[in-house]
Structure 1
Amino acid sequence: MTTGTPMRAILVAAALVLPPVAMAGSSSVIIAVGYSPSVPPVKLQLRADYVAVPLTLQGDAKDPLKRIDQIEQSLRAISEGVKPHADLAVRFGVVSLSPRESSKSFSSYESYGGASAQLYVLGALRPDTTVFALTKRIHRAVTGVPLADGAKVVFGTTTLGMDDPERFRPQLLGLIAKAAAEARKSLGATGPIDIDGLESPVAVMQLNDSDVVLFINYRARIQLKAS
């Protein structure tokens, strides 16, 4: 997005660089990154759509094929066990299956074979629910599922999720254009504005126990004087 002629004068630059978002096995549900104090000035604060609890499934069988079976059966069991809960859903993530045999135990998991599967259980964050209540419900739903013999599930840190944050792109682009125009005016600049990075995905960052911040990483350069 460029206004005016190419820049050949002093530039005032501002860069916003934050970690990329993580996806929970879906092209539309985005899991928020952790809070960072480097919050971009152009953003939207919204209530999250989901509470997301990451899970890691591990198998303890020495034989690699048996470990694969343990993990596959446990994935199916959790998926089926969550289905009766209308406000809960499962999103599958990375599966890591090692062909190596194992002689170790769970206490030294990283060295015994490395077979695991990651998934998220999502709970709809409705106005009458809280992150605390949903986390407990998810925990009860998962721990109530009988896993394959020798498998175990490790609960990760609860976070938040947003459904299709790209739907807010037009609103964010409008706010960025407005902020750039206001910055140009406050600087008394007469030159053009060049904005890069507008094609970046809409990022999601967790703000508190229920809200997320949506933003686009971009770089704005303002030419102080027209060339």
Structure 2
Amino acid sequence: KKILCKFVTLKFEASPTAYYIPDFISEDEESYLLQQVYRSPKTKWTQLSGRRLQNWGGLPHPKGMLGERLPDWLQTYCEKISSLGAFSGKTANHVLVNEYKPGEGIMPHEDGPLYHPTVTTISLGSHTLLDFYAPLSSTEGATPQTEESRFLFSLLVRPRSLLILQDEMYQRLLHGIQGHERDTLTEKVVNLPAAGAQPGEELSRGTRVSLTIRHVPKVIKTKLMLGRR
């Protein structure tokens, strides 16, 4: 069955393309996914500074990820997103589930070379602003570079939306989330029309759960040798 989605394409000088798809999933699907996240064993949660997360599919490693079978509730959405061609014909095999409470965020970072150069994210429960930054310059003697001076723009990410970042949006720019409880939307939020919002709006954050769905190209496949000594 073909999945029909309206792609909203955002173009910038420094980055070719991002895809923001509002209402990629229904409210019922959102409720179902949140139930599955919070029904997961407590041992699946890892507490980090500013958020907690679940890792599904294996632990990415330069030598290869020891692959683990994804549960059906995640496999369904890995296949749904992969069918859009997000991973160049490959099927996503890794999911990070992040929980952000109001006031929590993540420092600007890049996802690195262990993944296919595409990151896809389904948001559940609340909006957030995803901020993008220029990388640190290697120019010696330049003016000290602060997070503020390197800030480029933000994307408003609504609940039930899908965000796809590829090419330079993935490989060059850093992305992060400020630890705010409220967001005031400005002209620096470059997808306001696509997200159904207006400059000047104020939005209060609730608890947001994100499903970060990616493809790890290098996987170690293990074979159980049963009955052999």
TM-score normalised according to structure 2 size: 0.21
Scaled by the length of structure 1, the TM-score of the pair is 0.21
Q: Hey, which of these two has a bigger chunk of helix by percent?
A: 1
Larger Cα-atom Rg: 1
